[in-house]
Amino acid sequence: MLRRNSLVPSVLALIDDLKTRSLEEAVHGFVRGAWRHLDAQRELILVALREMPTHLTEAREAVARVLVPANAALARHLEARIGPARAAELSSVIAVRALLGMIVVTFLTQEILGAGRHLPVPEAEITKTIAELFLRGVAPEREGVS
């Protein structure tokens, strides 16, 4: 199922679509696009979650075939956008994986596991917050404050 519904073409199309935007616009656009893609794949996500514990080998193969190439493509794009000096200070692979993790875990808890029923937050606010956390963190440094 995951082989037929690979995220790689969607991620590559999204990267291509965001190339002309500023880094900030690109991150916000990517988060919104990823959230909407997850929402559209809700049934596939439920099947994958249900089947994963009994199919770990297949899940690992899917990660290698689907998530790793998408992660690598996004990391290359991020490195190109932030420049070599900043790229040398952090792992772009981990930065992108953390962004994807924020999106996926928030989607799972909010939409699949029902947190949104107890603490409703509009989709626009969720995606904006995730993008801002990625771009600036919770408490960005300000001049004279550390």
4-29 in b/e form (b: 16+ CB < 10 A) is eeebeebbeebbeebeeeeeeebbbb
φ, ψ (nearest 5 deg) of residue 90: -145, 165
Looking at residue 144, its pLDDT comes to 53
| pLDDT tens across the length of the chain (146 residues) | 555 555 667 777 777 777 788 899 999 999 998 899 899 888 888 888 888 889 889 888 888 887 888 889 889 889 988 989 999 999 999 999 999 999 999 999 999 999 999 999 999 999 999 999 999 998 876 655 55
Alpha helices (H) in 41-122, listed in sequence order: 42-51, 56-62, 68-89, 92-107, 115-118
